[in-house]
Amino acid sequence: MATFIGIHRMNGPVEESVFSKGWESYKAACSKRGLKTIRAVFNAGEGIAICETEANSEADVKAAHEEIAMLPTEIIEVKIAQ
């Protein structure tokens, strides 16, 4: 499996609870597809979130985001530094 980050840029500040609910929904969508969620980080004041997921393809990550109607601005395949 490869590692992907999804970058979400909202239009301004977002309540912390919105990120928490979105992350829980995303984890459930990924679980159904056999994807592994690793972590999410966010800045509520800036309205930016980044999620990290192990998946077979970018398309799998996109499909999980589409299911919860929270498409990221970008999905990027990354390597983990050792």
Helix and strand tally (H, E) in the chain?
2, 4
Going by CATH, does the domain composed of 2-78 fall within 2.60.15.10?
A: no
The alpha-helical segments, DSSP class H, found in the chain are 16-33, 58-67
User: Does the pLDDT at position 77 exceed 90?
Assistant: yes
Q: What is the mean pLDDT of residues 21-35?
A: 97
- Give residue-wise pLDDT tens across range 43-73: 999 999 999 999 999 999 999 999 999 999 9
